[in-house]
Structure formats: structure tokens, C-alpha cells
Amino acid sequence: MLATADALATLLAAASPISGTESIPTLQALNRVLCADVTSPLDVPPMNTSAMDGYAIRTTDLTHGAHSTLPVSQRIPAGHAPTPLTPGSAARIFTGATVPAGADAIVMQEQTASTGDEVTIQHTPQPGEWITAQGADIRSGSVILPAGTRLTPQALGLAASVGCAALEVHRRVKVAVFFTGDELTMPGEPLKPGAIYNSNRFTLRALLDKLGCEVTDYGIVADRLDATRATLREAAQAHDLILTCGGVSVGEEDHVKPAVEAEGRLSMWQIAMKPGKPLAFGAVRRGGTASASAETFFIGLPGNPVSSFATFVLFVRPFLLRLAGVQTVAPRALSLRADFTQSKADRRNEFLRARINAQGGLDLFPNQSSAVLTSTVWGDGLIDNPPNHAISAGETVRFIPFSELLN
């Protein structure tokens, strides 16, 4: 069996950004991936602005220090162009408004007393106080979002702040997905003896949607070699990745492995992890050609619900992000205290469902079976426990939050 680090390296070595880009409105670009740097055409802010409601003054005009009284020569709301500040006067100014030429400080209104057309300054400011300088956030010509950035809500706001109405992004990754197992039944249908509801379809579809993929769902495919091969051939024609769930073990009813080997190739089959040992990676030929350039990637996930979930977030997610053009795909991990003891070590790399308790330590879900999907809802993330390692209460462990793995 392949070590988890080697398995991930194999997947990422094969993945490169897909071809095809498009320009889309910035308002519609959430979770898309930039294919070109976004460079600012202007300073932000484009002028000196007030960080407070108050009065713009020249510090040299405060001849009586913190008890100077000045006439108010103008009123400057945000979005209005001021005139230069008259020497010996103050300008009423509001947050975000342009600081008038000649003014070198803002005195917040709580430190003043106004009477009629005059204001008494009750604080002696330093030059530059409460002034946000032109370009304090962004300088004209600087790269504010590099190519390969996956666009978050705040990244869209940053792009808009420099006037970007549209962004150049990679096209969406096209994923075909299907599920094998004659025991699978869709919710809403009668549950026959020996059958189970197909929870994996809902989990994996939601994970793919969250990553912004363009998904074709072939549903449940019959447990037959011919049906599996036919679905693989069809799915290979117009997709970047074929993702299957179930049928990747070595039983007589597990047809995915021989089907992929007949329609393409497999370069990885089992990895030393728990849960999720049977993870398959390879490619399916398009249109019967043997050319590697005319292949669609294939990943086969195990059928147990926790195994399917864990292998997706740990392996499929970074693979898809790399296909989409994202450069940094590794989730950030935390070093946290284990508030439990697990005396039995496993020879495989374990990924244990745990959650953060009120004391900042980790509690372990009591049942770590690969069939207990409840643990993925109860937990906050996965403990990445190395092979042959028992965990003692109080030791520091590597914890990968779901907030990272589901992003």
C-alpha cells in the first residue's frame, strides 16, 4: 500500500491547470480561480481621506494649543471635492471624505466644541493624525490578486475596490460522477430488504458543488462490468475527471477496477490510510484512442460513507483545486492537545474524527468506524495520526479542521 503523502504527491504530480479561460463579471466570480494577475490601475484610497468625523485643520494654526478656536470655512461630506483649506480655519469633515489641501490633521468631533460657525479644538493633534494617506491600502501598479487565487468574498471586494468589473478566470472543472452498488436506493424510494440509502451521492455532489465544479451525475450504475465500462466510456468524452464511489474493493461484485483497466489505466490502487484504503487513480481513454493527451482522469472512492468523505477531502479536493488552477492546495493544520487516550496504534495513517472542546483540547468521537457518518457531523475536523502511533492524553496532535478541508 502507498503512504498517504506519496499518494497525494502522485495525484498532484499528474494534475495541471485545465485549458480554457473566460472573462466573467466580478459579481459572479465567487470561488472561481484567476488565470491572470489582477493589477491595480490606481491608488487606494485615491486621495487622502479622513478616518473620523471631525475637523480638518493645520496643526500650525493651533496657536493656543488645545484651546484654539477657529472659524469653520467649509463642510466636506464623503464623495464631495473640497476646496483648499483657508489658513487659520477648520473644515467640518466626515469619515471617508477627501482631506482638503493644506490640512495636515483631523481632530475627532468628540475632542471639539462647536458654537455657530466656530469650533474650539480641545486636543492638540500630531501631523497626520486620523488621516488615511493616499495609497495606504494599495499602490497603483501593484498586484493585488495573483493568478491562481481562488476568489473569496473579500477578494471580490478587493478587485472591485480598484474598479475591476470583470475578471479572467479558468473555466470550471468538469466532473462526471456515478455510484455503484445494487444495494443503493435513493431517498424517497421504498427501502427493500438488504438495501441502504445512497448517502454518498448527496455528500459528494455537495462537495463538488462547493468546489465550483460543473457536475454530470450518472446516478447509480448497475453492478455489472459491461454497465460500468459503458458509463466510463460515455463519461470520458467531455469531462476532466470521472469520480466513482463504491466497487473499488476486490470482491466479485466490484467491477470498477477491471472496467478502468479495460477502458484505460490505473496508476494507484490502495493507500495506507484508515478510513479509506481502497482509493483508485488512473485515466480513461477518450474515443478509443491510446493517446495520453486524450484521456480523462479517474478517481475511484470507497463506498463506506466516512471513507468516501475522508478520501475526497484529503485527496480529491486538492486534485480538483490544482486542475482548477489553484496553486496552494494544502489545508492548514493546527497543533492541539489531545484530551483522550487511544492506546491501540494502527499500522496505517489514521484520520480520526474529533472536535474542539471548551478547554481548547480535542475530544474523540467514540466510534471511529468508516460506516458512522454521524462522526463527520459531530466533529470539527480530522486528527492526522501517523502509522503505529498510540495517542496519550495531553500530547500534541496534528488537527485539520473541516473549515480547511471543505473550503
Looking at the chain, the whole-number percentage of residues with pLDDT higher than 90 is: 86
Both 241 and 166 in one domain: the answer is: no
Q: What is d(CA 240, CA 294) in angstroms, rounded to the nearest whole number?
A: 10
Looking at the chain, the whole-number percentage of residues with pLDDT higher than 70 is: 97
Assess whether pLDDT exceeds 70 at residue 250: no
Both 316 and 362 in one domain: the answer is: no
Q: What is d(CA 327, CA 329) in angstroms, rounded to the nearest whole number?
A: 6
CATH of the domain at 150: 3.90.105.10
- According to the model, what pLDDT value does residue 315 have? 97
Confidence of residue 294 (pLDDT cuts 50, 70, 90): confident
Both 252 and 370 in one domain: the answer is: no
* 230 phi-psi bin (left φ>0, alpha ψ -120 to 50, beta other): alpha
Q: DSSP string of 368-385?
A: --TT-THHHHH-SEEEEE
Q: What is d(CA 140, CA 62) in angstroms, rounded to the nearest whole number?
A: 35
Q: pTM value?
A: 0.88
Structurally, the chain folds into a number of domains equal to 4
- According to the model, what pLDDT value does residue 192 have? 87
Q: What is d(CA 401, CA 205) in angstroms, rounded to the nearest whole number?
A: 21
pLDDT digits (tens, 9 = 90+) for 176-189: 999 988 788 889 98
Which residues does 293 contact at the CB level (< 8 Å), separation at least 6?
none
Residue 138 lies in a domain: no
Both 318 and 208 in one domain: the answer is: yes
Angle between helices 225-236 and 256-263 (to 10 degrees): 50
Both 152 and 230 in one domain: the answer is: no
Both 57 and 120 in one domain: the answer is: yes
Q: DSSP string of 282-341?
A: EEEESTT---GGGEEEEEEE-SSHHHHHHHIIIIIHHHHHHHHT-S--PPP-EEEEB-S-
Domain boundary pick from 304, 324, 344: 324
- According to the model, what pLDDT value does residue 290 have? 52
Q: What is the mean pLDDT of residues 190-210?
A: 92
Q: Give the chain's mean pLDDT.
A: 94
- Domain extent, residue 26, equals 21-41+144-170
Q: What is the mean pLDDT of residues 59-76?
A: 93
C-alpha of 144 from chain center: 18
CATH of the domain at 76: 2.170.190.11
pLDDT digits (tens, 9 = 90+) for 79-102: 999 999 999 999 999 999 999 999
Confidence of residue 247 (pLDDT cuts 50, 70, 90): confident
Domain boundary pick from 266, 290, 324: 324
Residue 283 lies in a domain: yes
Residue 329 lies in a domain: no
